[in-house]
Amino acid sequence: MLHQDQVDQARKLLDHLHGRTTALAEGVYRNPVTDYTCPQQAARERALFFRRFPLCIGLSCLLTKAGDFLTHDYAGVPILLVRQSEGPLRAFLNVCRHRGARVAEGKGAGARDFSCPYHGWSYGLDGALLARPADGAFAEIDKAGCSLRELPLVEKYGLIWTSPTPGAGFDIDAHLAGLERDLAAYGLASYHHYETRVLQRRINWKVAVDTFLELYHLNVLHPRTVGPILYSNLATFDAFGRNLRMIGARRTIGALRDLPEAEWDLIRHSAIIYVLFPNTVLIVQGDHLETWHMFPAGNGVDECRMYASLYTPEPALTDSARRHWDRNMELLMATVEKEDFPLSEGMQRGFYSGAQREVTFGRNEPSLQHFHKSVAEALAASGGGIGG
């Protein structure tokens, strides 16, 4: 975030703190419970968001050198990301053009080509078919037409986005709708990957996103984890198209009042939460960055598979640095995995009880409101609508 924006946002937070207020939506929003339970809606979300939208994969540091590769299956489509010899990243469907086997597994470094484990067709880092054993048996099929199918990919602001449908290109700045101003200022291209954890829970993928979208619950659910760190029920809210930014204040923020504005560093005194629509939550967390990427799993309705990553501005080279980042990861998991998600699973079961047809997002929960309005609006804009 640019310094002038930090000053503007810090002023808002200090005003909220002074007046015991928080950013408010215009009214209460009643979100239909079917948003979390309807199989038809879940199928439309999969077809639209998880097939055609740009999906943030993570930071550029996941693949730094030529020949680094990463397979990614969370969206339900086998994706292979490869760093090219000349530097750019490319993404392909991880599907052999002979009979469809996966040409790569997991992740790795220093690959010069990918040899399919089934019959040995081999592909270059650029996806081109290099060789096929018993080539004469396939001579009537031109090799040039047997490249791995390429997916659109954008690497910008130190982040990677791809979309799982060949040919479904996207304009990432149009999608970010102004949020790129903050992202560009963080210098994420020089960040380092520390750790990623994969979680699977019995919740709709949007419940997992919701977890991060209000601070109303902090001192009730998290009195021993993040409650002592951040003020409860105090946050800013700004929409950027379908994306959003919500800033929470650390309990240290009052220290800014004693400094000239030119020296204000909001990042040290806040947690800045972004939704990169549809399914990524990116959190600028004081001295490091956390990302959460949520995907529908199983039937797509009440199962979510997600990965959470911790990135650091400097590589973790010493034991004391590693202990520091380990403690941060433990705090994150103690909060989200041990406190938020068990409660979320109870909510998901309760959705099927018939207790109510709607859940309520208060005026003090504008980020939740915006996220769910954006989901509904995007589905409607694609011709699907909700509940039909």
Instruction: By CB under 5 A, name the binding residues for Fe ion.
Output: 340
Question: Buried b vs exposed e over 50-84: b needs ≥16 C-beta within 10 Å?
Answer: bbebbbbbbbbbbbeebbbbbbbebbebbbbbbbb
The two tokens of residue 150 are: 């390429």
Please state the closest distance from residue 227 (CB atom) to ligand FES, in A: 53
118 binds ligand FES (CB under 6 A): yes
Residue 100 CB partners (closer than 8 Å, separation 6+): none
Q: Are 283 and 274 in contact (CB under 8 A)?
A: yes
CA distance 293 to 311: 14
Question: CB-wise, 37 or 122, nearer to ligand FES?
Answer: 122
CA distance 244 to 281: 10
Question: CB-wise, 34 or 115, nearer to ligand FES?
Answer: 115
Please state the closest distance from residue 153 (CB atom) to ligand FES, in A: 23
Q: Report the site for ligand FES in 121-150 (rule: CB under 6 A).
A: 121
- DSSP assigned state of 269: G
User: Residue with the closest Cβ to Fe ion?
Assistant: 340
Question: CB-wise, 101 or 255, nearer to ligand FES?
Answer: 101
Q: Are 68 and 82 in contact (CB under 8 A)?
A: yes
The two tokens of residue 245 are: 């930014």
Question: CB-wise, 104 or 246, nearer to ligand FES?
Answer: 104
Q: What angle is formed at CA 28 by the lines to CA 25 and CA 34, rounded to 5 degrees?
A: 120
98 binds, among ligand FES, Fe ion, none (CB under 5 to 8 A by kind): ligand FES
Q: Report the site for ligand FES in 79-108 (rule: CB under 6 A).
A: 96, 98-101
Q: Are 387 and 375 in contact (CB under 8 A)?
A: no
Question: CB-wise, 182 or 340, nearer to Fe ion?
Answer: 340
Please state the closest distance from residue 284 (CB atom) to Fe ion, in A: 17
Please state the closest distance from residue 335 (CB atom) to Fe ion, in A: 6
Question: CB-wise, 96 or 289, nearer to ligand FES?
Answer: 96
Q: Which residues bind ligand FES (CB under 6 A)?
A: 96, 98-101, 116, 118-121
